[in-house]
Structure 1
């Protein structure tokens, strides 16, 4: 892992957006894996600003989002699809047919997960995946447990994860769906490059476990130690427990 500690979250976001824009210029057909939540918001703002200035053209690329709440239709205001429409998709020149997303309202979760894995395989896998990390060490919605699943799958969300997503539901954690659909660790570890962002003191212990701890399904992000090209970009608070 290549760890970089920034003075501020905004500095990291500007650097990350510039990194993504450079990757798109180098490969206009870039297959990009995208997260949701609070962590990437400033990155999306910076990417939108680059697009408005004509410095980002994603018209030939495609995106695969990492996860979606199960039981929510795409148009639900709390869905990750709605989040991405508000903050990114509607504000850049990404063709609709190049947006790939899990359907949280699919009647058959297993079939939906198989469809998504097949679409990603047909696209050639992820060139670059942007990740956050949960306070419990999860990446995408791969939650801590006795083992991890490689393929896309249905998952029961832990209490900490539901609390972290309460902001999408009027700060009411009881309204956060109990389950989600998520890319598995296989697709993430097979991505050609990983950039993981973490900000704030609440992420410090998870970042330390990811970078310096053992590789264990109790901290899913620790499996990124096995990847050949991982950038970990954090602010000073999130990186305060990491030994370098």
Structure 2
């Protein structure tokens, strides 16, 4: 893993956005995997600012979001699709037909996962995926378990994960759906390039397990140790548990 530690979250976000701009400029039809949550917000703000300065053209880029809450329609303000519309999609010149998203309200969740997996395969997989890490080490919505699933699937969310997503539901974890649809570990590990962001002391132990611990389904993010090209973008707080040797 290529670790990059910054003095602040904002410094990391600016540098990460610049790297994404370079990737899209070099490969205008790049297939991007995109996360939601609090962690990538500043990166999206910086990418929007770059677009407003005409420093990047998104018109040919293809996007696949990593996950969506089950039973929540795209029109629901708490959906991940609504989050992406607010913070990114509607603020840059992405082509609507090139935006791919899981339908949390699909009547057949398993069929929806198969559809999404097939759409991603037809695009050749993820060229660049942005990732966050859960405090419990989850990656996308691949939660810690005895074994992990390679393909897009329906998953039950942990209490910690539901609490982390409560901001989309009036800060009330009880309103967060119990289940979600998510890309599996296969799509993430087989991406040609991965960039993981982690900020704050609350992520420090998960970062340590991801970087220094064994590769184990109990910490899904640890499988990034097997990735061929991964960058980890940290602030001082999220890097605080790492050994001096690693840093």
Common topology (TM > 0.5): yes
The two structures have a TM-score, normalised by structure 1, of 1.00
Distance 2:183 2:56 in 1: 26
Q: Which runs of 5+ in 1 are unaligned?
A: none
Counterpart in the other structure of 1:23? 23
Question: In the alignment, is residue 90 of structure 1 matched against residue 112 of structure 2?
Answer: no
Pairs aligned (count): 244
Query: Once the 2 structures are TM-superposed, how far is the Cα of residue 239 of structure 1 from its aligned partner?
Result: 0.3
Counterpart in the other structure of 1:162? 162
Counterpart in the other structure of 1:45? 45
CA deviations on 1:180-215 (whole Å, 9 max, x unpaired) are: 000000000010000000000000000000000000
**Correspondence 1:77-226 to 2 at 5 A:** 77-226=77-226
Query: Once the 2 structures are TM-superposed, how far is the Cα of residue 242 of structure 1 from its aligned partner?
Result: 1.0
Distance 2:196 2:70 in 1: 24
Distance 1:85 1:136 in 2: 27
Distance 2:221 2:172 in 1: 27
Distance 2:229 2:15 in 1: 17
Distance 1:184 1:62 in 2: 19
CA deviations on 1:74-118 (whole Å, 9 max, x unpaired) are: 010000000000000000000100000000000101100000000
Q: Any idea what SS the aligned residue of 2:12 has?
A: helix
Q: Which runs of 5+ in 2 are unaligned?
A: none
CA deviations on 1:151-191 (whole Å, 9 max, x unpaired) are: 00000000000000001000000000000000000000010
Distance 2:22 2:164 in 1: 31
Question: In the alignment, is residue 231 of structure 1 matched against residue 222 of structure 2?
Answer: no
Counterpart in the other structure of 1:12? 12
The two structures have a TM-score, normalised by structure 2, of 0.98
Distance 1:120 1:22 in 2: 22
Distance 1:56 1:86 in 2: 19
Q: Any idea what SS the aligned residue of 2:141 has?
A: coil
Query: Once the 2 structures are TM-superposed, how far is the Cα of residue 56 of structure 1 from its aligned partner?
Result: 1.0
Distance 1:65 1:216 in 2: 24
Aligned alpha-carbon RMSD (Å) = 0.4
Distance 1:241 1:158 in 2: 23
Distance 1:64 1:242 in 2: 31
